[in-house]
Amino acid sequence: MTPRQSGWLVAVLLCAPGIAHGAPKPHVVALGAARHEPYSFEGDPAGAKKDETELKVRPLMVDGKTKEWTTGEVHDVTERSFAVRRAERLNDALPTDREARWVWQRGPWLLVDRLSGKVEALRLPDFDPAVSEAVWFRDYAAYCGVNASGKQLFAVVAQVEARRPLLAKKLGAWDAADHPSPACALAVWQREPLKVSFQPTGGAEISFDLVGTSAVLVEDDSGDQ
């Protein structure tokens, strides 16, 4: 190959898509080894049960670096995206305390993209850590929630990346100071026809048909973070 031909080859390679600007880098997303941390109602009154003493947490790692801490089971939304509950380490020290006092709390649900490495907090309407236990199916989360006034208990079905809840039906009045625990049994899903059932503690079961729904999660084709 002559020097002139070599120069043309270099020019073509530099102008090729993904070479001149750099091809998207694949990301490695994984959950690390679990460990048990001290956990109690005193440290997390909104999320912990009164008899809990430990919280099982796992690091969420992207490209070998810890991005978040998580707790509970993972739900695969699609082949590349999954939802998992965040675990937060909060400084519980008073202004008069000389040293930090760290406690663990259950945080919001996260949506994690295995391809891009993107991690984002999910906004689940009326989700209350003291009341809500999300049960996932596809890109839907079903749970009992409490409205903004804190006086009404609702049956809620939220959909990932939807602006409004797919379902929000009042189940009854709610008294934060005097309420059953748990507030509801875990929601029960049915595939065909698509249906979800809720049962408030001490109340009758109620079911809802979800008609004409489809996934609204749009995953970015970019492999870059």
Q: Hey, what are 225's tokens?
A: 């973070």
Query: Residue 18 has what pLDDT?
Result: 47
Pairing of strands 102-113, 81-91: antiparallel
Q: C-alpha angle with apex 139: 137 to 140, nearest 5 degrees?
A: 60
Q: What is the pLDDT of residues 161-206, one digit of tens each?
A: 888 999 999 999 999 888 888 899 999 999 989 999 999 999 999 9
Residue whose tokens read 């409205």: 147
Q: What is the pLDDT of residues 39-63, one digit of tens each?
A: 999 999 999 988 899 999 999 999 9
Q: Do the Cβ atoms of 209 and 157 come closer than 8 Å?
A: no
Can you name the residues that pair with 108 across neighbouring β-strands?
A: none
Residues of the chain with pLDDT > 90, as a percent, come to: 73
Task: Please tell me whether residue 58 adopts helix, strand or coil conformation.
Answer: strand
User: What distances in angstroms separate CA 36 from CA 92, 94, 105, 192, 200, one per listed residue?
Assistant: 19, 25, 13, 39, 31
Alpha-carbon gap, residue 165 to 121, rounded angstroms: 16
Compute the mean pLDDT over every residue in the chain, rounded to the nearest whole number.
87
Residues of the chain with pLDDT > 70, as a percent, come to: 85
Alpha-carbon gap, residue 61 to 33, rounded angstroms: 10
Per DSSP, helices labelled H in the chain are 3-15
* Strand ranges for the chain from DSSP E: 29-31, 35-38, 54-62, 65-76, 81-91, 102-113, 119-121, 135-137, 140-146, 152-159, 167-173, 188-190, 195-198, 206-209
Query: Residue 216 has what pLDDT?
Result: 66
In 3D space, the residue among 215, 196, 218 whose CA is nearest the CA of residue 207 turns out to be 196
Q: Do the Cβ atoms of 21 and 218 come closer than 8 Å?
A: no
pLDDT for residue 111 is more than 70 = yes
pTM above 0.75, yes or no: yes
